[in-house]
Amino acid sequence: MAMRSPLSHAVKRATWKSPATPVLSPCTQRWKRGNATVAPPPVTQSSAGSKGPTAMVFMNMGGPSTTDEVHGFLNNLFSDADLIPLGRLQNYIGPYIARRRTPKIQKQYAEIGGGSPIRKWSEYQAAEMCKILDQTSPETAPHKPYVAFRYANPLTEQMYQQLLADGFGGGKGGRAVAFTQYPQYSCSTTGSSLNELWKWRQRLEGKRAGGEVDAEGSIKWSVIDRWPTHSGLVEAFAQNIEKTLQEYPPERRDDVVLLYSAHSLPMTVVNRGDPYPQEVAATVHAVNQRLGMKYKYRLVWQSQVGPQPWLGAQTSDTVKNLMKKGNTDLILIPIAFTSDHIETLYELDKEVIGEDAEGHEGVKRVESLNGNPIFIQGLADIAKAHLHSGVACSKQMTLRCPGCVSERCLGSKEFFAGQNQLLEPLAA
């Protein structure tokens, strides 16, 4: 989210409290509003396919589709201690910050068309991926696309209710995959979304959620929890960079500086052992390797909020400082984002390029992944490999941050890891 102005007046008394952890125990509706697409008809457990139907759930932060949804979005966001830890007064400070920020953020969304396009792109990407999966993985077909946002409609609760209405779970069984659209794992993003999914699983499927009663009748969940160096992701970014490089005269092209910009994290989250910085760096390295290691680059961080230390260097400061040093040919690459939203359309385009770089013609941003067919094919490849693996989640997901003490995180990880006993690999 584009939140350049410090919030010291609103959060000066808040402390970034980090939770830290005992070791993980053994692995034990339809929406049609704003720019959303119409959901396909329900599937039932009698549909064709030896292992289908399969629900493919895209998880992301989300964004308000209209300016009227901004306050609710901000209230949900600032109330989430996984994302922005504000200490014991989170439930009071979060809503207070949301109220204070709403008018300004509404104006920002108005400037990018009246709302975030992230729902439109998420629904499109999920639907297109499922079309490919129906062809490449007929054993798990039909594949039905869903979107679950953490802070905006369709919320995780709404998605889960729709799953039940469409014939998944509730005694009928069925398979669902929680597919994070954060390529690089963080407890603040993917972790928070999975915690929310686990919460609604417990509430809406009762004891079945813990495998205590009729496990076969509940939804069998698995998780695609990270994919920072997948070839489809890397190739899509690399081709977009190469396309933007062609906009520079040949004599300037080799000296362009690539600035890979990712959403920052509070240092308290980083210091408790969150893997996000390393996984973002892995994506950057993989893209640079694909480009032949030919260009100067830096990994920079955006969207800091509040007075406490966040992971840096900041994108805006880096652009200003490099330009002062004479580096005026810069390409911004939103390396941790899979579609356009306020962080790209407002923060990078209007604030960083428009204000910090004063609209200099040498400072550009690569196109976001959005409907990129290489990217969508990559998503389908990731999903197919996961569906055929019989694995509920990655080994890495079962390892808690060394400094985490969240019982909700522990319960969520144990639940998803425990789904392994309900899954089996498919024949190659």
Active site residues per annotation: 230, 381
Helices (H) then strands (E): counts for the chain: 14, 8
Which string of b and e fits 85-123 if b means at least 16 CB within 10 Å? bbeeebeebbbebbeebbeebbebbeebeebbbbbbbbb
Identity at 241, one-letter amino acid code? I
Q: Residue by residue, what is the 3-state secondary structure of 249-280?
A: CHHHHCCCEEEEEEECCEHHHHHCCCCHHHHH
Identity at 387, one-letter amino acid code? L
Q: Hey, is 331 helix, strand or coil?
A: strand
Q: CA 299 from chain center: how many Å? A: 18
Q: Hey, is 95 helix, strand or coil?
A: helix
Whole-angstrom Cα distance, residue 51 to residue 141? 7
Strands 296-302 and 330-334: unpaired
Contacts of 425 (CB under 8 A, 6+ apart): 388, 389, 390, 391
What is the residue whose two structure tokens read 């108005």? Answer: 110
Please return the burial class of 340, using the count of CB atoms within 10 Å of its CB with bins 0-12, 13-18 and 19+: buried
